[in-house]
A = this chain, B = another copy of it.
Amino acid sequence: MEGCIVTSPSSPQSVVVMSPCAACRVLRRRCVQKCVLAPYFPPNDPIKFTTAHRVFGASNIIKFLQELPEEQRADAVSSMVYEANARLRDPVYGCAGAICQLQKQVNELQQQLAQAQAQILNMHCQNANLNMALFYMDMSQSSLPSSSNDHSFDNFFDELGFLCDQSLST
């Protein structure tokens, strides 16, 4: 989009006038046919350019866009406006502050997830113990005399507990 063509309804005859893009209007310059800023800074959204301009400066914005292929320029403008807004909201840390916060959140979540996974592993072992205990009790109930049964039952738990401790410590 170059300088926009708009019609003036107040005129007795429909008059076509050229409206410069928001960037050229802010920079008080003529919006030429191939203005590199016009496709991304339409005249109806002047804040978008003002924000980016206050942080990066017009010459840097133009330079960045000229160094990129056209299909990547819209994304580059969006990210610059996003960063500029972050810098104006937080003049000390800007986007870097948000990155720091997110990195902290990632670290905390990774720690919580590791704890939850350890707990799951531990509970798997407990579950296996209990299932085997039930199975063993069921078997012993039908086939073995009570006294020897209790004894091997204890041994079985000792062994299974040892195996689980080993798997948790690795």
Asked whether any CB of chain B lies closer than 8 Å to the CB of A57, the reply is yes
The answer to whether A96 and B79 touch (CB under 8 A), given A60-B55, A60-B57, A131-B130, is yes
Min CB–CB distance A85 → chain B (angstroms): 10
The answer to whether A76 and B60 touch (CB under 8 A), given A106-B102, A123-B124, A126-B127, is no
Asked whether any CB of chain B lies closer than 8 Å to the CB of A160, the reply is no
A57 B54 Cβ-Cβ under 8 A: no
CA distance A112 to B94 in the complex (A): 30
Q: What chain B residues lie within 8 Å of A56 (beta carbons)?
A: 55-57, 60
CA distance A57 to B60 in the complex (A): 7
A79 B60 Cβ-Cβ under 8 A: no
Min CB–CB distance A53 → chain B (angstroms): 9
A91 B64 Cβ-Cβ under 8 A: yes
Q: What chain B residues lie within 8 Å of A112 (beta carbons)?
A: 113
27 A-B residue contacts at CB 8 Å?
A: A56-B56, A56-B60, A57-B59, A64-B91, A68-B92, A79-B93, A83-B87, A83-B95, A86-B95, A99-B99, A99-B102, A102-B106, A105-B106, A106-B109, A109-B110, A109-B113, A112-B113, A113-B113, A116-B116, A116-B117, A116-B120, A119-B120, A120-B120, A123-B127, A126-B127, A127-B127, A141-B141
